[in-house]
Structure 1
Amino acid sequence: MGQGDWESGEGSPLLVQVQVQVREGRALAALGWWELLRGLLVFALCSHPRLQRDPEAFLRASRRLLGPHLWRALLSVSLWGQFAVGRSPAAVQELAQRLRARGLRPMLALPIEGEGPDGEGEAWFEQNCGAALQCVGLAATSGPEPAMQLKVTALLSQRLCEKLSLRLAKPEGAVLNPEEVAAMLGGQEPELTWLSPAENEHLGRGLRRLEQVAQAAVARGVQVLVDAEMSHLNPALTCLTWGLMWRHNRAGPRPWVWNTWQAYLRDTEARLGAHLGQVGVAGLRCGVKLVRGAYLEQEQGRARARGCPAPTWDTAEQSAASYERCLRLLLAALARPGSRLSLMVATHNEASALAALRGLSRVPPGSVCFGQLQGMGEHLSLALGAGAFPVYKSVPLGPPEVTIPYLARRAAENRGALGGARRERELLWAELRRRLRPWA
C-alpha cells in the first residue's frame, strides 16, 4: 500500500469515492449471484422474531425437526456458509483467495470459550490448545499479514479468570504486573499466595498453553488478536495479554499480540488512555482492536441480578459516542512521532468507519486496518477494500456443530446486529434490481 493511498483527509477524492460506494452499496457488484441470493436468504432468516429472541433454542428445534444430516446440509448453504469456514486447508485457502481477490483478508476466529463439558477439566483446555495451534497453521497459509482471534477462556478457566480479576481490583492486586506474568509465561511456576495449589497449577498450565500458541504464531508470522469478554473477566484477560505483549511485542514489523477494547463499557476510555501511556513507557509495539462490544444484555442482566449499576453505557447513542471518543484518542496517539501503535477499527457502522478514514491522513501509512464479521457489512468491507484499505473479515473456524452455537450466542448477545441487518437487506435488494434491470 503506497503512501498516496492513505491521503484520505476530509474531502479527498478517495474518501468521497468510498462514501459514495458505502451509501449506494455499489461495491456489492463484486459478489457472485449465489452470494447475493444467500445473503438475502440469511438476512431474512435473521429478521425472524423467534431467531432474534432465542437463536440457540431456534437452532435446537430445527435440528430435532430436520435431523442432523439435513440440518447440517441446510446450514452449510445458509447461515454457516455465510458466516463461517471449515477447518480443512482447502476450505481456508478457497476463502482466502476469494477474499483477497476483493481486497479483503481473512482473520480466523477460534469459536471456543467457557468451561467446557463437566468432568473434562484440563483435557478440554488441552484439546482447545490443539485447535488453536491448528488455527495458527491455517492462518499462516492465508496470505500476507495473517491474523487470528483467540479467547483466553478457551485455554484457561473462566472461574479462575474471575478470581484473578477480583484480586486485581484490590490495591494489593497490582503486584501481578506484566513482568511477573511474562516470567510465568516463560516457565516460572505460579506461586500466588491468594490462589490454592490446584489453582496455581491450572494457572501455570493455562499460561503455558497461551505461550505455546503465541510462540507458534510469532514463528509463522501470525498476529494474535486476543478477544475481550465479559467485564468481570476483562481485568485478568488484559493482565495476561499484557504479559504476552511484554514477551512478544518488542521486535518485528508489527505487534504480534493485540488486545481488544470495548467502547460500550463506561471506563474504557480512561483505561485505554492509561494503557497507551504504560505501553509507551515500556517501549512495546501495541496492537489495539476497538469494538463497540457484544455482551450488552448479559452485562446488564448480571448487574441487575447483583443489584449493582451496569458497567455499560445505558443507550446505543452513549456507546456510539464513547466509541468515537476512543477512536479520536487512538488516532491522536497514532499521530505522535515515533508511535508504535497499530489499530484495528472493528465496526459495521458506516459513520465510525468513515470517521476513521478522515483521520488517516494524519497517521503513519499502514498503521490502521478495519475489521468486520464475515458475511456482514459487506457493502462497507468491499468499498474499503476497493479503496486499498486493509480490511480483515472475522471468520469462525470449524464445522457447523461448533461454529453455529457460537454464532447463536453472539447473536443472542448482540440482537442489535440482527436488527441492523435491515440496511444490508435493502442494499442487497438494490444490487439484485440493478442486475435484473441494468437499463433502469
Structure 2
Amino acid sequence: MSRNTLFDNTKTAFQLKSDSQLERAYFLFKMISKESLVKIGTAITKVALNLNLPVEGLIKRTVFDHFCGGINERDCMDTVDNLYDANVYSVLDYSVEGKEEDAQFDATAAKVMELTQFSKNKPAMPFSVFKPTGLGRFKIWQKITEKEKLTPEEEKQWENIQTRYDRVAKTASDCDISLLIDGEESWMQDAADDLCEKMMEKYNKQKPIIFNTLQCYRWDRLNYLKKAHQRAKDKGYKLGFKVVRGAYMEKEGDRAIEKGYLSPICISKKATDDLFNTVVEYILENLDDISLFIGTHNESSTYLAMQMMEEKGIDEEDRRVWFGQLYGMSDHITFNLAKEGYNVAKYIPFGPVKDVMPYLIRRAEENTSVAGQTSRELTLLKKERVRRNIL
C-alpha cells in the first residue's frame, strides 16, 4: 500500500470495533458535525449534571464510552489489552479537571503515582500523564507566571504543588515510566514550563523520563524549544517533548482581545501547521538530546514525520519517537501506523462520568472547530460500513 493512501485502510483502522460500536461512532460524529447541536447539547448536559438529573447513564452509554476507557483504571484494562494485541500502546489519563482543594490535588497525585507503579509491570502502558492544574490551583500557576506576589497561604500551596510534582516525577523515574505533562493556557504555562524543566534537570540525566508539552498554535514555541535545548545541554540532561497543535485556541484569542495584548496564537491554521512540522523536524534532528511524542490527528503532518524519519535514517521502532492520538478519534492513523511498525499510543481518558464531562465537552467543541476533522471521521466510518455491508 502506498504511504499516501495508508490511512485509507478502514479494515485495519476499525479492526477492534464491533458493528454496533461502529454504528455508535457514526452516530456520534454525525451529531458532533453540527455545531448548533454541540452548543445546545453541551449546555443542556451541564445544566442536567448540575441539577443532578439522571442523565449519567445515557452519557456513559454514548459519548463517554466512545471517548473514555471507563470510570476507573480497572474498566480500562480490556481496552488496554485489546489495543496492545494490535501493537498500540496506552496512556491512561485521569481526566478530572477544575478542582480547587488540596485534598483533591493530593488524590490526583496519588492516582497518577498508582497508575505509574501499575504500569511498571504492564508493557502496554509505557507512559503516565497529568495536567499541571491537576496538582494545583490554576490561580497559583497564573500568579507565578505573571510574577505576582503570593500570599503566605498561596506560598504554602505553591510548595505543595512542587512537592506533588517531585513525588510524581520520582515515582516515574523509579518505575522507568515516561511521564507526559500536558500543556495548558498561556497565562499559566511559564510557571509550568519552569517547574517541568526543574524536574527534567533532576530526573532526565540518563534518558528522558519527564516530557513537557509544546502547543504549536503558539508562535513562540520553537524559540522556547531551542532555548530549553541549550539549557539542557549546558546542564547535562535530556529533554522529552510531546508536540501538539493545542487545545485552548478560542479561549486564548478571546482573552488576548479582552486584555488588550498580542495574541500568542499563530496568525493562521497554515502558520500553526508549519510551526508544528518545523518543531517536529528540529527534534528529529536532535534525537540524541530530545525524545519526541507526536500528538496529532493531522494526516499530512503524520506523513511528513514518517518521511523525515526515513530521510534521517530513523527506524520506525526507535523508542525515542512516538505517535499518539486520542481514544475514540483518528483510528485510521493509529492502527495503520501500528501495522507499519511505528511506536503509537492512544490517550485513554477515564474517571467518574460527571468529573470527566469538562474534558468531553472540550473534545466535542474542538471537533466542531477543526475544519475537516469530523467530516474525515464520517467518511471513513461510512466507508467501513459499506465494506461490512451494514448500511
TM-score by length of 2: 0.91
Q: CA deviation at 1:326?
A: 1.4
Q: Do the aligned partners of 1:54 and 1:412 also contact (CA within 8 Å) in 2?
A: no
Corresponding residue for 2:346?
Answer: 393
Q: 2:154 aligns with which of 199, 224, 233?
A: 199
Q: Structure 1 pair 35/413, CA: closer, same or farther in 2 (3 Å)?
A: closer
Q: Do the aligned partners of 1:112 and 1:151 also contact (CA within 8 Å) in 2?
A: no
Query: Structure 1 residue 94 and structure 2 residue 78: aligned?
Result: yes
Q: Do the aligned partners of 2:70 and 2:351 also contact (CA within 8 Å) in 1?
A: yes
Query: Structure 1 residue 367 and structure 2 residue 320: aligned?
Result: yes
Cα RMSD of the aligned pairs, angstroms, is 2.5
Q: How many residues align?
A: 386
Give distance in 1, aligned partners of 2:140 and 2:390. Answer: 59
Q: 1:329 aligns with which of 282, 295, 301?
A: 282
Q: Structure 1 pair 202/317, CA: closer, same or farther in 2 (3 Å)?
A: same
More displaced 10-residue stretch of structure 1: 360-369 or 147-156: 360-369
More displaced 10-residue stretch of structure 1: 349-358 or 324-333: 324-333
Q: Do the aligned partners of 1:255 and 1:285 also contact (CA within 8 Å) in 2?
A: yes
Q: 1:76 aligns with which of 48, 60, 73?
A: 60
- Give a deviation string over 1:286-306, Cα, whole Å, max 9, x none: 111100011100000001111
What letter is aligned with 1:319?
T
The residue correspondences of 1:277-356 to structure 2 (distance < 5 A) are 277-334=230-287, 339-356=288-305
More displaced 10-residue stretch of structure 1: 418-427 or 405-414: 405-414
TM-score by length of 1: 0.81
- Give a deviation string over 1:62-93, Cα, whole Å, max 9, x none: 6589942xx22222232111111225453222
Q: Structure 1 pair 140/380, CA: closer, same or farther in 2 (3 Å)?
A: same
Segments of 5+ residues of structure 1 without an aligned counterpart are 1-15, 169-193
The residue correspondences of 1:80-159 to structure 2 (distance < 5 A) are 80-116=64-100, 121-140=101-120, 142-144=122-124, 146-159=126-139
Q: Do the aligned partners of 1:18 and 1:383 also contact (CA within 8 Å) in 2?
A: no
Larger radius of gyration: 1
What letter is aligned with 2:200?
M
- Give a deviation string over 1:316-369, Cα, whole Å, max 9, x none: 1221121122122222222xxxx1321011100000001110111313632211
Query: Structure 1 residue 56 and structure 2 residue 42: aligned?
Result: yes
Query: Structure 1 residue 162 and structure 2 residue 111: aligned?
Result: no
Give distance in 1, aligned partners of 2:4 and 2:322. Answer: 17
Query: Structure 1 residue 421 and structure 2 residue 377: aligned?
Result: no
Q: Do the aligned partners of 1:289 and 1:343 also contact (CA within 8 Å) in 2?
A: yes
What letter is aligned with 2:133?
T
Q: Do the aligned partners of 2:135 and 2:164 also contact (CA within 8 Å) in 1?
A: yes
Corresponding residue for 1:235?
Answer: 190
Q: CA deviation at 1:61?
A: 5.0
Q: CA deviation at 1:30?
A: 1.2
Corresponding residue for 1:38?
Answer: 24
Q: 2:306 aligns with which of 331, 335, 357?
A: 357
Query: Structure 1 residue 407 and structure 2 residue 360: aligned?
Result: yes
Give distance in 1, aligned partners of 2:42 and 2:111. Answer: 23
Corresponding residue for 1:20?
Answer: 5
